[in-house]
Chains A and B, each alone.
Chain A
Amino acid sequence: MVVLTLEAVSRWSIPVLVFFFLLLGWVRRVPVYEAFIQGAGEGFQTAIRIIPYLVAMFVAIKVFRVSGALEIMAHACAPVLRLFGAPVEILPLAIMRPLSGSSALGLATELIKTYGPDSFIGRLASVMQGSTDTTFFVLTVYFGSVGIRRYRHAVILGLLADLSGLFASIWICNHLFK
C-alpha cells in the first residue's frame, strides 16, 4: 500500500507539475510558447558553465577512491563509529555519500544485496542513503553555475548536515531495529 503510494507520487509528480505550470500560464494569458523559448535559452549556458567545477571535483573524488585512500580513511574512522553502535561495513558508504551520488548508491545497493534488505546493515544503509546528500556535487554545481569560487561557510554547514544526518540515522536505527 505504502509502496504503491510512493510509486504513484514519483510517477505522477513531474507530469502534474508541467500540466499545472502550463495551465496556470494559459489562464494568466502568458504567451506560453514564447516564454518557454525565452527561458530555455539559459539552460545551455548554465550547464556549460559548470564543466570546470565538475571536472575538478570528479577527478579528485575518483582518484581518492581508486587509489585505496578511501579504505584507509574508513579504517581510521572505524573506532569512532563503533562507539556509536554502527557496524564497520557501512563506513565506505558514510565517507562516499557526500562526495558522489552514483557511487554511494552503488555502495548502498551492494550492502543491501549482500546482507539482505531486512538485516540491520541493510536497513541502516537504506536510512543513510536517504538521509544525507551529495554535498560536494550540490556545492560544485550550484556555485559553479553562477561562477562563485569562494564558498565560505557553505562547506562546513554542508558537511555538518551530512555528519548530523549520519549520526541521526545510526541513532534511530539502533533504537528501532535492534
Chain B
Amino acid sequence: MINLIWLFLILGGIAVAACNGRIDLVTETFFGAANDGVRVCLDLIGLMTLWMGMLEVARQAGLIRLLARLVRPLTVILFPDIPPQHPAMGAIIMNISANILGLGNAATPFGLKAMQELQKLNPWPDTASNAMCTFLALNTSCIVLIPATIVGVRVAAGSINATEIVAPTIFATGFSMFFVIMLDIIWRSYLKAGHRRRRKW
C-alpha cells in the first residue's frame, strides 16, 4: 500500500512535470525536499531530547503506570494484545491527551515513546503490530477540543467570531474517531476469524 502511494506520488509528479515543461523543477525539488526532511529531523532533536527526559522523570515517579491502570477497561477493548498496566498504555494516553489539547509539539515525543513500548511487544520488528495500527488510527483521527492554531489564523484575518468553528471541529473529529475505532475493531475480528496474518502487506 505505502509502496504504491509512494510510487504514484513520485512517478506521477515526474510525468506531469515532463508534460507541463517543468522538468528542471523536478531536480531542484528533489534536493530541496531532501534537505527539508533532514532539517525537520534536526529541529526534532531538541524537542525529543527535552520530552524524553521529562518522560523518564514521569516514568520513575510511577505516573505512566498509574495512567495505564486508570484506562484498563479501555485497554481491554481497544488493545487486547497489550498486557494490562503495561507502560505502553500510559504513553498512549499521554499522547492522545496532548492531541486532544492541541499540544502538537509535546504529542510527537509522547507518541514516539508509546511506539518504543509497543515495539517491545511486537514479535516482528519490521512489521506493524495490530496494537500499533490501532494506536496510529486513534492518533490520526483523534478528537480535538482546542484547535488553537486555526483560531489564531482566523483572529489574525479579522474574523468577527473566530471560535464559531470550535464546535463543528469537535463534531467532525469525534465522528471520524468513532468511525475509525469501529473499522479497526471490525478489521481485527476479521483477522482473528481464521485469516492468517498476511505478512506481505
A residues at B contact (CB < 8 Å):
2-3, 6-7, 9-10, 13-14, 17-18, 21-22, 24-25, 27-28, 30, 32, 35-44, 46-48, 50-51, 54-69, 72, 105, 108-109, 112-113, 116-118, 122-123, 126-127, 129-133, 135, 138-139, 141-143, 145-158, 160-162, 164-165, 168-169, 172-173, 176
Nearest CB to that of B32 among chain A residues? A62
Interchain CB contact under 8 A, B162 and A3: yes
Q: How far is the CA of A4 from the CA of B47 in the complex (A)?
A: 27
**Interface residues in B, total, Cβ within 8 A:** 105
Residues of A within 8 A of B127 (CB): 148-150, 152
The answer to whether A67 and B45 touch (CB under 8 A), given A43-B52, A117-B157, A131-B144, is no
Mostly, the A contact residues are: helix
The answer to whether A50 and B41 touch (CB under 8 A), given A13-B101, A116-B157, is yes
Interchain CB contact under 8 A, A62 and B165: no
Q: How far is the CA of A39 from the CA of B184 in the complex (A)?
A: 33
Residues of B within 8 A of A161 (CB): 137, 140-141, 176-177, 179-180
B residues at A contact (CB < 8 Å):
1-2, 5-6, 9-10, 12-17, 20, 22, 25-26, 29-30, 32-34, 36-38, 40-42, 44-45, 47-63, 101-103, 106, 108-109, 111-112, 115-116, 118-119, 125-128, 132-133, 136-137, 139-142, 144, 146-151, 153-155, 157-166, 168-169, 171-173, 175-177, 179-180, 183-184, 187, 199, 201
Residues of A within 8 A of B111 (CB): 138, 142
The answer to whether A146 and B44 touch (CB under 8 A), given A118-B161, A127-B169, A160-B179, is no
Nearest CB to that of B56 among chain A residues? A39
Q: How far is the CA of A126 from the CA of B115 in the complex (A)?
A: 30
The answer to whether A35 and B57 touch (CB under 8 A), given A3-B151, A50-B41, is yes
Q: How far is the CA of A109 from the CA of B57 in the complex (A)?
A: 39
Question: What are the 10 closest A-B residue pairs judged by CB atoms, nearest first?
Answer: A39-B56, A43-B49, A130-B147, A40-B53, A161-B141, A117-B159, A43-B48, A67-B17, A63-B13, A55-B37
Can you list 22 contacts pairing A with B, beta carbon distance less than 8 Å?
Answer: A10-B103, A21-B54, A25-B57, A32-B57, A42-B116, A43-B51, A51-B37, A56-B6, A58-B34, A59-B29, A63-B30, A66-B25, A67-B22, A109-B153, A127-B172, A132-B176, A138-B140, A142-B111, A143-B115, A148-B125, A161-B141, A168-B172
Q: How far is the CA of A50 from the CA of B196 in the complex (A)?
A: 30
Residues of B within 8 A of A47 (CB): 41-42, 44-45, 48-49
Nearest CB to that of A123 among chain B residues? B165
B145 smallest CB distance to A (angstroms): 9
Interchain CB contact under 8 A, B20 and A67: yes
Pick the contact of B10: A3, A63, A108, A123 (CB < 8 A).
A63
Interchain CB contact under 8 A, A60 and B146: no
